[in-house]
Amino acid sequence: MGNEAYVCAYCERKIRSGVEVYGLGVKLKEGLEYPGAVGRTMTVHLPVRGRELSCMVTADGSQARLEGWDLIFMVCSEKCGAELKSLLEEEKGLFEEIM
């Protein structure tokens, strides 16, 4: 991960490098993809909540992609992960599956 700084997708706090990072993987609905951002950070718009969340698009051949995830949301804690998960579960038009 190098020195790249991540921001928690849920509370938007900076995640310091060196601390354990929690990631929430999601599988997009058929036909949805973000080919322009593969392997990079991008923002996904959630129509139900009207929020923009930052996430990583999994790179081809990466472990996360091999496990079937299209996007990874980085979160700062398990608590944020759980909050984020319930938020994402409301966006039934976007996500097929949430880890």
* Site residues, Zn ion (CB under 5 A): 8, 10-11, 76, 80
The residue among 78 and 96 lying less far from Zn ion, judged by its C-beta, is: 78
Write down the least CB distance from residue 13 to Zn ion, Å. 5
Best CA proximity match to 1, nearest among 17, 12, 16, 14? 17
Write down the least CB distance from residue 85 to Zn ion, Å. 12
Write down the least CB distance from residue 12 to Zn ion, Å. 7
The residue among 72 and 76 lying less far from Zn ion, judged by its C-beta, is: 76
Is the Cα dihedral 59, 62, 63, 66 positive or negative?
Answer: positive
Contact yes or no for 79/24 (Cβ under 8 A): no
The residue among 7 and 94 lying less far from Zn ion, judged by its C-beta, is: 7
Lookup: tokens for 99: 């880890």
The residue among 13 and 92 lying less far from Zn ion, judged by its C-beta, is: 13
Q: Give the count of beta carbons closer than 10 Å to the beta carbon of residue 51.
A: 14
Widest CA span of the chain, in angstroms? 36
Write down the least CB distance from residue 91 to Zn ion, Å. 18
